[in-house]
Amino acid sequence: MMRNSSLLDEAYELCEEGKYTLALEYYDLVLFKDSKNITALINKGVTLQTLEKHAKAIKCYDEALKVEQNNIDALVNKGAALHTLGKFHDAIDCYDKALKIQPKYAMAIAYKGLSLGEIGLLKDAIKCFNAALKIDKKFDLALNNKTIALELLKNNTKIKPKFIKKG
């Protein structure tokens, strides 16, 4: 029987080759032997997200967080899965927890910006994108979405009705 580390390596390779369903079987083998293996739980979650099985992915991240409540990868990935499901406030909660652990985590900040943008808080989203770009000046996700948010904000201000004072 293979050891967990070689099973995890094999699962990773399968994912690289696009063989996600088979990779899931390897993660399940690891988890059968060690149900609290953080790497297997998180990587299984990522693989499930790749297969667009976001609710199942969230269950994996929740299991990982039971083992290690401050696992930043589990928190950020759970946030991303929640975002995809349209649960933007819950996603923001995950990003905020991750940022309490690691305040200068550019990806968590930028992802929070995405969720804030989705609920219409464009100015807050732009602040997040700017903060992420201070940490990583070449962070495409933050740069591209900042541009989109600025454009949306500009268009929103054009659309707002002007109130006419009655004289």
**Residue 84 in tokens:** 């995809």
Q: What single-letter DSSP state applies at residue 104? A: T
H runs (alpha helix) in 85-139: 88-101, 106-118, 122-135
- What pLDDT does 17 receive? 94
Residue type (1 letter), 117: G
Could you give the CA distance from residue 15 to residue 11 in angstroms, rounded to a whole number? 6
What does each of the 167 residues of the chain score in pLDDT, given as a tens digit?
Answer: 456 679 999 999 999 999 999 999 999 999 999 999 999 999 999 999 999 999 999 999 999 999 999 999 999 999 999 999 999 999 999 999 999 999 999 999 999 999 999 999 999 999 999 999 999 998 888 888 898 888 888 887 654 444 555 54
CA-closest candidate to residue 51, choices 79, 78, 23, 74: 23
Could you give the CA distance from residue 29 to residue 137 in angstroms, rounded to a whole number? 41
- What pLDDT does 160 receive? 46
| Statement: the pTM of the whole predicted model exceeds 0.85 | yes
- What pLDDT does 4 receive? 67
